[in-house]
Amino acid sequence: MSLSILCSLLAVSLFTSGVNAATAEQWRSRSIYQIITDRFALPAGANLNNCDVDAQTWCGGTWNTIRDNLDFVQNMGFTAIWISPVQQNYQGSRTPYGDPYHGYWIQDLTQLNDKFGTSDDLKALVAELHKRDMYIMVDVVVNNVMALNTQPDYSRYMFKDASLYHPYCPIQWGNTTSEQDCWLGDLNVTLPDLDTTNPTVVNTYQSWVKDFVQEYQIDGLRIDAAKHVNKEFWPGFCESAGVFCIGEVFGGLDVEDAAQWQGPLDSVLNFPLYSSLLQGFTIPGPANITAVTDTLTQSKKLFKDTTVLGNFLENQDVPRFASQSVDPQSMNNAMTFTFMYDGIPIVYYGQEFSFNGAGDPKNREPLWPSGYASTPASDIMTKLNQLRNFLVNTTEWATSEPQVLSSSQYGLSFVKGDVISIITNIGSPPQNGTNIAVPSPYDANTGFTELFSCKQWVAGSKGYLDAEYTLGGKPIVLVLSTLMDKSPLCKGELVTSQGLGADSSNAVQLRWSFRWPGLAAIMSLLLAFPVVW
Ligand SMILES: *[C@@H]1O[C@H](CO)[C@@H](O)[C@H](O)[C@H]1NC(C)=O
Ligand SMILES: *[C@@H]1O[C@H](CO)[C@@H](O)[C@H](O)[C@H]1NC(C)=O
Ligand SMILES: *[C@@H]1O[C@H](CO)[C@@H](O)[C@H](O)[C@H]1NC(C)=O
Ligand SMILES: *[C@@H]1O[C@H](CO)[C@@H](O)[C@H](O)[C@H]1NC(C)=O
Ligand SMILES: *[C@@H]1O[C@H](CO)[C@@H](O)[C@H](O)[C@H]1NC(C)=O
């Protein structure tokens, strides 16, 4: 047996024995469901009406209740979850901003937050995720701890000596030194800032994160307030962690601002994309598609690797998408972008129910009143996940370079791998005469299968595809039919014509067809039910 075979056997056994330590490359093909532990699910028998977001206090979710409800997440096709911070939080009486139900008010990093469970509970959650071949990303806060004044008793924190913190100063926004050295928060809730240039702090954090990741078999870290820490701190921290690190670099459209942090960190949450999608797709809104295409051009130029950026439309700090747009189709279209372009799609719990909390604390709604039922938005994200999971498993799609094919005030189209997405901001009302013409790179008569409807499209002359919106502005995802045929999607469904511009010269031709499950599907059915009689 050659050495290389031995090595690869060893690699396989390491992988399957639960040593995860997932890298950026492994995370690239995942999709993430973001959870605030306190708000995701209640234990059986709990009072379902007992959560008032304005009260800013605990509602009762735990690591165990996440574990009990993973089917809901996995059935939507997600392959990872990101949970709110797990370490001990502020232990005192209520603050003017309520209680630390969100988990970001760190007290002692060496202890877990007993509001959310025990060490065994957290391990059981991770074990269950790994059993399902899902990853866990944990939110960590290292920039600061939490206090109620500027002279806290440091003995209760992991770092017990005042000399390991920067002296108090309020942040002067726009001054980078001040943003990194002064204290986040205000005088009601101060956030004492660690001196992350101090070698004791650097070394202690490195051994802390190494132990934490190993002890709980964490696959990735989401790093809170990453831009409030000096850049030099991150490479050593992430290397000690040994897993994918994605940082929160809170910001707007400015790509340069965000991109400088990829390098120190493996990746960042894609705030520029998020900001531009709001510009392009909210209704009413500026309908500024140029903001999106400019952001894509800048991103390609400035980010080291756009394929691992964290694409999102919502999180615990920004207003829910549905609070920013009156039309559900705008979220469906923007969401399609976050899944089908470069990057790791992230969905914040409740987005599937079009929750509409317009900012902290209203955007931290309890999930349970939804009944965990399926909705039009959850159907769309499920289909997007199913397609993306198939593509990342069987093709080089995740790393293939996307290309914008066309853009106009009504939306844009792009190709990535053998998938063309056409997204629009025109909203739900049918519009005759509004269209998006797509110069596809394929030959005339090439066949495509549309993800959401399973309808067949055929490229017109010179490969043109033409999206018309007589049924309203739904997202369109066209997969090369020869590729889609190999997937589990659109099998055995009766496919009908919807009469999209069949007459114009560059039009899509539509045909009737009945698609039989492929041989592979028939074989797997046979294998799934072995003959035992
Ligand atoms: C920026 O902030 C630092 C730290 O607080 C301070 O020392 C410095 O004077 C500030 N610079 C300017 C231009 O205000
Ligand atoms: C402290 O909180 C109260 C109540 O929310 C608020 O009115 C006040 O402005 C806050 N003070 C500071 C210094 O931010
Ligand atoms: C659209 O966004 C771009 C930023 O990419 C900006 O330069 C432009 O002024 C915006 N146009 C409108 C009409 O707001
Ligand atoms: C993708 O591959 C992983 C790992 O082999 C497997 O667990 C998963 O079921 C696959 N997913 C799809 C959609 O094929
Ligand atoms: C748009 O065209 C369709 C048929 O192509 C027609 O049924 C519908 O009434 C038209 N709607 C409007 C608003 O003109």
Encode the chain (533 residues) as per-residue pLDDT tens digits. Answer: 344 444 444 444 344 434 457 999 999 999 999 999 999 999 999 999 989 999 999 999 999 999 999 999 999 999 999 999 999 999 999 999 999 999 999 999 999 999 999 999 999 999 999 999 999 999 999 999 999 999 999 999 999 999 999 999 999 999 999 999 999 999 999 999 999 999 999 999 999 999 999 999 999 999 999 999 999 999 999 999 999 999 999 999 999 999 999 999 999 999 999 999 999 999 999 999 999 999 999 999 999 999 999 999 999 999 999 999 999 999 999 999 999 999 999 999 999 999 999 999 999 999 999 999 999 999 999 999 999 999 999 999 999 999 999 999 999 999 999 999 999 999 999 999 999 999 999 999 999 999 999 999 999 999 999 999 999 999 999 999 999 999 999 986 545 443 333 333 333 333 323 333 333 333 333 333 322 21
CA pair distance 407, 422, nearest whole angstrom: 9
Q: How far apart are CA 181 and CA 144, in angstroms?
A: 10
Ligand 2 mean position to 188 CA, how many Å?
6
Q: How far apart are CA 495 and CA 193, in angstroms?
A: 59
Quote the CA–CA distance of 230 and 213 in Å, as a whole number.
Answer: 22
Mutate to test the pocket of ligand 1, among 166, 178, 193, 195 (most ligand atoms within 8 A of CB): 178
Pocket test for ligand 5, best of 431, 466, 470, 497 (most atoms within 8 A of CB): 470
Measured at the CA of 196, the angle between CA 230 and CA 138, to 5 degrees, comes to: 85
- Looking at residue 526, what is its pLDDT? 33
Q: What is the pLDDT, as a whole number, of residue 20?
A: 59
Contact 371, 386 (CB under 8 A): no
Per-residue tokens: 479 = 């997969």
Atom 1 of ligand 5 has which residue's CA nearest to it?
A: 432
Atom of ligand 1 nearest to the CA of 175: 1
What is the C-alpha to C-alpha distance for residues 95 and 56, in angstroms, rounded to an integer?
10
Show contacts of 68-74: CB within 8 Å, 24+ apart. Answer: 68/41, 69/40, 69/41, 69/372, 70/128, 70/129, 70/132, 70/134, 72/372, 73/33, 73/134, 74/132, 74/134
Cβ(187) to ligand 2 under 6 A? yes
Q: Could you tell me which of 353, 82, 106, 110 has the C-alpha nearest to residue 212?
A: 110
Ligand 2 mutation target, pool 168, 188, 191, most atoms within 8 A of CB: 188
- Of the bound ligands, which one is closest to the alpha carbon of residue 295? 3
- Does ligand 1 come within 6 angstroms of the Cβ of 219? no
Answer for the pair 83, 138: CB distance below 8 angstroms, yes or no: yes
Say if pTM beats, i.e. exceeds, 0.75. yes
> Which one, of 255, 191, 275, 256, lies nearest residue 229 by Cα?
191
For 278, residues 6+ apart whose C-beta sits below 8 A from its C-beta are 285, 324
What's the CA gap between 497 and 457, in Å, rounded? 9
Strands 494-495 and 513-514 come out as antiparallel
Q: Whose CA is nearest to atom 7 of ligand 2?
A: 96
How far is residue 353's CA from residue 77's CA, in Å, rounded to a whole number?
Answer: 16
Ligand index nearest the alpha carbon of residue 172: 1
Between CA 227 and CA 86 the distance in angstroms is 21
- Coil, strand or helix: which one is 456? strand
Counts for the chain of helices (H) and strands (E), in that order: 17, 20
Residue 103 backbone zone (phi > 0: left; psi -120 to 50: alpha; other: beta): left
Q: Is-catalytic flag, 224?
A: yes
The residue whose CA has the least distance to atom 11 of ligand 3 is 288
What gap in Å lies between CA 403 and CA 342, rounded to an integer? 10
> What's the CA gap between 339 and 76, in Å, rounded?
13
| Residue stretches of the annotated binding site | 56, 105, 222, 252, 317, 364
For the chain, list the domains and their CATH numbers.
Answer: 20-143+196-399 (3.20.20.80), 402-533 (2.60.40.1180)
Among the options 99, 193, 219, 224, which is catalytic? Answer: 224
The whole-number pLDDT of residue 50 equals: 86
CB 183 within 8 A of CB 190: yes
Quote the strand ranges of 427-507, DSSP E.
431-439, 447-450, 456-458, 464-469, 476-480, 494-495
- In the reported structure, the alpha carbon of residue 273 is separated from the centroid of ligand 3 by a whole-number distance in angstroms of 14
Q: Which of 193, 248, 327, 485 is catalytic?
A: 248
